[in-house]
Amino acid sequence: MEESFKGWPPCDICGKPVDKENGVLSVNPNEAEQAVLRAPRGVLSFEEMRALPEGPKWLWSHARCGSDANVVWIEAERFDSLGKMFDHTLHLSEKNWYQATNWRETAKRFYNVPSA
């Protein structure tokens, strides 16, 4: 499978270029856990699903720009190939808060991957 790396986006905080040596993805898992706890249980209508608040977003930044509140940090070298991104996705899927974040959209910022 051909990897389709899009490149390192600019920093979400300062807007300057970010390279692999200085880039990190980060998120606050406590906010994600709270989103999981607030989520309604059972079958939801389409309108109810659309009305759900968004969970926390993964932040791409220079390590020096990142927020101290985001306690989960993933260094760029840990997802600098599609295989590594997939491996990290499997790792994150074991966390109870993972699906409350925008990980799918985050992965697509870096790689052209098919929609599921």
Looking at residue 3, its pLDDT comes to: 59
Decide if 72 contacts 27 (C-beta within 8 A).
yes
The DSSP annotation for 15-77 comes to -----TTTEEEEE-HHHHHHHHHHSPPS---HHHHHHSPP-PPPEEEETTTS-TT--EEEEGG
DSSP state of 112: -
Looking at residue 2, its pLDDT comes to: 46
Q: What is the pTM of this model?
A: 0.83
Per-residue pLDDT of the chain (116 residues; tens, 9 = 90+): 345 889 999 999 999 999 999 999 999 999 988 888 887 777 778 787 777 778 899 999 999 998 777 889 999 999 999 899 999 999 999 998 998 899 989 999 999 877 65
- Give CA torsion, residues 25, 26, 27, 28, to 10 deg: 170
